[in-house]
């Protein structure tokens, strides 16, 4: 078999048997999507001044720093829900409580940017590492969802990437609104 390119090892790691990875293209794509959407989110936040990171849009919604500050908690929360679905057949998915997060993290607008980015990286890396180890059977394990009926581990992981995508659009909208 030909040597794998560097980007391959960056996505799947060096300690994963290549035959195992070849049997699990879904994991490869999930990991790539997780990494790409987080990278895209960080890119759209580049070149925003420290002052502008803390500015709220006219509608009074979250500032960019608040969006970024809640991501580590959301990553950990969705990861915990995915693990529960994987380990406990039929686990009932519980929604992340954004209102409670806002109350409990009223200081998020004042947090140090470097600390927020470090927390984001660490929490997201936990998600990526756990996802890399999943088998096809584990990805297909399902729990129950209050609105949709069923949700798989794969769908829970995909929610994290989709959550980043929605915040990319939010950051763009905030930037337009505050003129950056």
Domains annotated for the chain, with CATH where assigned, are 18-178 (1.20.120.450)
Query: For 93-148, what is each residue's pLDDT tens digit?
Result: 888 999 999 999 999 999 999 999 999 999 999 999 999 999 999 999 999 988 87
Query: For 24-39, what is each residue's pLDDT tens digit?
Result: 458 889 999 999 999 9
Mean pLDDT of 71-79: 97
Query: What CA–CA distance (Å, rounded) separates 160 from 65?
Result: 18
Residues 94/88, Cβ–Cβ less than 8 Å:
no
- How many Cβ atoms sit within 10 Å of the Cβ of residue 50? 9
pTM of the model: 0.82
175 Cβ partners below 8 Å, 6+ apart? 44, 48, 52, 64
Query: What CA–CA distance (Å, rounded) separates 65 from 79?
Result: 22
pLDDT of residue 143: 95
Name the 3-class secondary structure at 62: coil
């Amino acid at each position: 078999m030909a040597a794998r390119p560097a980007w391959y090892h960056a996505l799947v790691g060096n300690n994963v048997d290549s035959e195992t990875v070849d049997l699990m293209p879904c994991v490869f794509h999930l990991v790539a999507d997780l990494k790409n959407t987080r990278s895209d989110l960080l890119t759209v936040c580049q070149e925003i001044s420290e002052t502008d990171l803390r500015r709220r849009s006219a509608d009074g919604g979250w500032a960019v720093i608040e969006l970024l500050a809640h991501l580590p908690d959301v990553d950990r929360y969705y990861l915990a829900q995915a693990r529960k679905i994987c380990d406990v057949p039929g686990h009932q998915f519980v929604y992340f409580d954004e209102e409670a997060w806002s109350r409990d993290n009223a200081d998020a607008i004042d947090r140090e940017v470097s600390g927020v980015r470090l927390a984001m990286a660490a929490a997201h890396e936990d998600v990526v590492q756990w996802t890399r180890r999943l088998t096809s059977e584990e990805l297909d394990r399902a729990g129950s969802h209050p609105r949709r009926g069923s949700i798989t581990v794969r769908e829970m992981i995909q929610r994290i990437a989709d959550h980043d995508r929605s915040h990319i659009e939010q950051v763009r909208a905030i930037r337009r609104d505050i003129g950056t």
